[in-house]
Amino acid sequence: MAEIGKDITKAKQLLEAGELVAIPTETVYGLAGNALDVTAVTKIFVAKNRPEFDPLIVHIADRAQVNVYAENIPELAQQLAERFWPGPLTLVLRRKNNIPDLVTSGLDTVGIRCPDHALTRELLQSLSFPLAAPSANPFGYVSPTTPAHVNDQLGDKLSYILDGGACEVGIESTIIGFENDAPVVFRMGGLSLEKIEAVVGKVHIATHSSSNPKAPGQLVSHYAPRKKVILGDVKNLLKDYAKEVSAVLSFKTNFNVPHQFILSPSGNVEEAAQRFFTALRDLDKLPVDVILAEQVPNVGLGRAINDRLHRASAA
Ligand code: TXA
Ligand code: MG
């Protein structure tokens, strides 16, 4: 098991020595290494069992650093960064040559984000390099939102978990790329479409791609617990699956069944997002055969939750 603590100096020293450290962000915990050190980056791919065609996000200390690692930044990208960084937004931009090929899987673009978490920003500010950090979970599984989640699955693969408490947003960043300088959403996430469109107008959404996905978050089966997830109308599903031992994942309704997780009894999609990955993990541990789940309202962060529910149920 990895050590869990709040020691920024220790995290800094490990990272400077080329080791991996799990870091808190407002979205999910990341498995971080020196983005400019190919050996450290290789360790990330190995620890996650992640295919090398899946590029990593580079985390920077503040907005201005984007110009160190990216060039030809579209005007709308500048506007989004100014409005939403630090925050749950990743911008896919033309990369400069100082970013190793392994980080971008050989693409000529790089995903960059300035995370909004006090501990991690302090850590980033103390380092002379940015941090490459995918979500700190084995490839394809549910992302971690607490230090214990990280320790459960990757505890033997890293030495230190920087403890920043439970993640406030709870769902991965929204990823936006640019085609002919127009924004395209590659992954729905912790920054809602409504907030994005209020700044840049209507955006194109390309979150599904079965062949050659730009972001593996676009793979149909991803973010999946090990148990079978069935998505639909829970009341009907409880009848259809009456012969099986089931657990229910609902938005706000109490179905009065022995195993259930209600995401937000008050019906708040932000709260539901914050608790969503914990819900999937907790339900995955129950002695049940199937997880019967319903969609949440398709507004705000509800879109990102529904996207992950669909992928989880496609496994
Ligand atoms: O909230 C988050 O984004 C978290 C925290 C730790 O920052 N990170 C995260 O990383 O979710 P990861 O590796 O699990 O997902 C990153 C996604 C991948 O699907 C990857 O393909 C996509 O970002 N991505 C990274 N660079 C890209 C690029 N140049 N073009 C297209 N997609 C890219
Ligand atoms: Mg991930």
Domain ranges of the chain: 3-205, 228-313
Ligand 1 interacting residues, C-beta cut-off 6 A? 25, 27-28, 30, 54-57, 90, 92, 104, 107, 109-111, 113, 115, 133-135, 172-173, 175, 177, 186, 214-217
Q: Same CATH topology for 3-205 and 228-313?
A: no
Give the torsion sign (CA, 256, 234, 313, 31): negative
Please name which of 132, 152, 125 lies closest in space to residue 63, comparing C-alpha atoms: 125
CA distance 244 to 130: 49
SS3 313: helix
Please name which of 135, 158, 286 lies closest in space to residue 225, comparing C-alpha atoms: 286
CA distance 218 to 201: 23
CA distance 226 to 141: 8
Q: Which two tokens stand for residue 150?
A: 């990280």
Nearest 5°: the CA angle 213, 43, 139 is 40
Length of the chain: 315
Fold of 228-313: Rossmann fold (3.40.50)
| Alpha carbon separation from 26 to 66, 143, 159, 200 (Å, rounded) | 19, 13, 22, 23
Tokens 């149909």 map to which residue?
A: 220
Distance 5 CA to ligand 1 centre (A): 25
CA distance 246 to 282: 13
Q: Which two tokens stand for residue 19?
A: 């080791």
CATH of domain 3-205: 3.90.870.10
The model's pTM is 0.95
Distance 57 CA to ligand 1 centre (A): 5
In tens digits, the chain (315 residues) has pLDDT values of 999 999 999 999 999 999 999 999 999 999 999 999 999 999 999 999 999 899 999 999 999 999 999 999 999 999 999 999 999 999 999 999 999 999 999 999 999 999 999 999 999 999 999 999 999 999 989 999 999 999 999 999 998 999 999 999 999 999 999 999 999 999 999 999 999 999 999 999 998 754 445 555 555 556 678 899 999 999 999 999 999 999 999 999 999 999 999 999 999 999 999 999 999 999 999 999 999 999 999 999 999 999 999 999 986
CA distance 172 to 188: 8
